Amino acid sequence: MDMKKNRDSGSSKEGLFIVVSAPSGAGKTSICKGALKMLPNVRFSVSYTTRPPRPGEENGKDYYFIHESEFRKRIDEGEFAEWTENYGYLYGTSGRTMRDFLEKGYDLILDTDPHGAKGLKENYTGGIFVFVLPPSIGELKVRLRQRGFEEEAAVERRFKKAMDEIKEIVWYNYIIVNDSLDSAIDKLRSIYVAEKSRRERLTEGIKDIVVSAQ
């Protein structure tokens, strides 16, 4: 089954996917991890990257860490539903992983930047797009500095990119302001619960009840 531009988002058998984006330092990874703990039937789409692991990261759990030559080979083979380059490293979402989860009826959370999210929106139907904002611009700068960048130039470069990414919020379905991690996690969980209750997603399952009522 080809998901591209012809996924039936009203199907009761296929899972839905939620794409979460945010500027660096807004906390989207923590929010996604927290929501996943509260939603046992939701899976996380582990992205591929060419950057080295950070302390505490595990291959296959946080990312699939692969060499650039392997990544580009997968690009040529059409492996990625979306891919992008950030600060010299490549990141991508496996289209095969998406298909496998969704066709089996699992719901899916994807953590990707606005460029990747826009690619998914253009090529796949039925996605839910969520953008995470920091509580203020000043707080964003504080969080960027706390991430351990040694040079102020690195902070400013990421800050400029963050401001460019924030401009993309106009086409997202939902906005979460991360002024409290627990509250932000609950908001993402609430978005998921609301989307699962949409009439068009339940049409097949409630057809007999609706027919009987007519």
Question: pTM for the complete prediction?
Answer: 0.86
- Residue 100 is predicted with a pLDDT of 93
Strand partners, 84: 91
Across 152-156, 162-166, 176-180, least confident range: 152-156
Give me the CATH topology for the region 17-45+107-213: Rossmann fold (3.40.50)
- Residue 2 is predicted with a pLDDT of 47
The rounded percent of the chain whose pLDDT value lies above 90 is 69
Angle at 22 between CA 172 and CA 189, to 5 degrees: 70
Instruction: For 17-45, write each residue's pLDDT tens digit.
Output: 999 999 988 999 999 999 999 999 899 99
Average pLDDT of the residues of the chain? 88
- Residue 202 is predicted with a pLDDT of 74
For 69, the token pair is 């030559």
Burial class (CB in 10 A: 0-12, 13-18, 19+), 211: exposed
Whether 109 and 42 have beta carbons less than 8 Å apart is answered as yes
Residue 207 clears pLDDT 70, i.e. is over it: no
Residue 15 clears pLDDT 50, i.e. is over it: yes
Confidence class for position 7, pLDDT limits 50, 70, 90? very low
Element (H, E) at 74: helix 68-76
- Residue 171 is predicted with a pLDDT of 96
Residue 130 clears pLDDT 50, i.e. is over it: yes
The rounded percent of the chain whose pLDDT value lies above 70 is 87
Strand partners, 92: 48, 83
The mean pLDDT value for 98-113 works out to: 93
